Amino acid sequence: MKKKTLIKKKTQLEKKMNSLMNEIIIGSLYQTEVNCGIKTCKKCKDKIKGHIANHLGYQTSDGKHKTTYISKKISTKIKKGNQFYKNAKKLLMDIGEINLLILKAVD
């Protein structure tokens, strides 16, 4: 492939990457069942089933794992942002491969 074609392809991928940048959320969304501890709570009464709680687990810059509670209202946005992150990772891999091909390409 010619260098000019590779650079054009890279520019297209960079535009896609820029469109994802404001939506990216890093981490893993998971659900757990928790008991609220309120004696009159119907869900917690049998102590088998609890309330479903959404959490986002992620790695901090110092390598520690953190977890934060996510409300139901924003859980779909979190899922969407996490999918954007996965798409961005793939785009970065593709851009990296093209960068290598550009370095190897002869004009």
Residue 27: its pLDDT value, please? 86
Q: Is the pLDDT of residue 32 over 90?
A: no
Mean residue pLDDT of the chain comes to 87
pTM listed for this prediction: 0.71
The pLDDT tens digits for 60-103 are: 888 888 888 888 888 889 999 999 999 999 999 999 999 999 99
Neighbour tally for 67: CB within 10 Å: 13
Residue 102: its pLDDT value, please? 93
Q: Is the pLDDT of residue 18 over 70?
A: yes
